[in-house]
Structure 1
Amino acid sequence: MILPLQVNAEELTIYALTAENGRFQPETIVVPAGRRFKIVITNKGPGPEEFESIELRKETVLAPGVTRTLVFAPMKPGTYKFFGEFHKDTAQGRIVVK
């Protein structure tokens, strides 16, 4: 006999992030502490870009026109930096957890 499982899935808040012309928009994403969330990253630029955060151990490379989703575990309050490997001087941002 197979019994149905009840799953209480937490609905994750989604934040949009765009990489274009060597920059991330928005540069700051504010999220609540202690809750999982998603960031949907779209590369609207003509070349590749990377989302990388050493602090958060997240990294993904996006070809032009590609969209990727990253899921983040609950985080403690603080500021966590991210950057684009292909445009280190200008593609910078932060996730502020409150």
Structure 2
Amino acid sequence: MQAGGPNEICLTYANGQFEPKEPTVPADAPLTIRVKNMEGKAIEFESETLKIEKVIAANSEAILNVRAMKSGRYEFYNDFNEKARGFVNVQ
């Protein structure tokens, strides 16, 4: 789900999964990622390739700012549940 424009995405974490799983954003522009945790326990949103690591409390949200990126596929996951994974597609 795009939110606020082409350089902002909104990810929702519920039922142990992120949605959308593979959002697409333009390359060579800074990115804002809004992560809404709908679960009753904290998550750790992490991406080694995006250089992000953020604990997000239960039933809350975080806004993360990411540097401009080259085209590619950047993985993210919940470090507390590594089966919950997705990718930011940068084109």
Using the size of structure 1 for normalisation, the TM-score is 0.82
2:47 aligned partner: 53
1:80 aligns with 2:74: yes
RMSD of Structure 2 on Structure 1 (CA): 1.5
Q: 2: CA distance between counterparts of 1:85 and 1:76?
A: 24
Moved >3 Å (runs of 4+) = none
Using the size of structure 2 for normalisation, the TM-score is 0.88
Q: Max radius of gyration: which structure?
A: 1
1:38 aligned partner: 32
Unaligned runs of 5+ in 2: none
Q: 1: CA distance between counterparts of 2:6 and 2:74?
A: 19
Secondary structure of the 1:28 match is coil
* Cα 1:27/1:83, change in 2 over 3 Å: same
Which structure's residues are more often strand, by fraction? 2
Q: 2: CA distance between counterparts of 1:39 and 1:48?
A: 17
The count of residues paired between Structure 1 and Structure 2 equals 87
Q: Deviations over 1:35-94 (max 9, x none)?
A: 1120110100111111100112101111111110001111000001010011112x1000
**CA deviation after TM superposition for structure 1 residue 12, in Å:** 7.6
Letter in 2 for 1:40: R
Give the % identical residues: 33
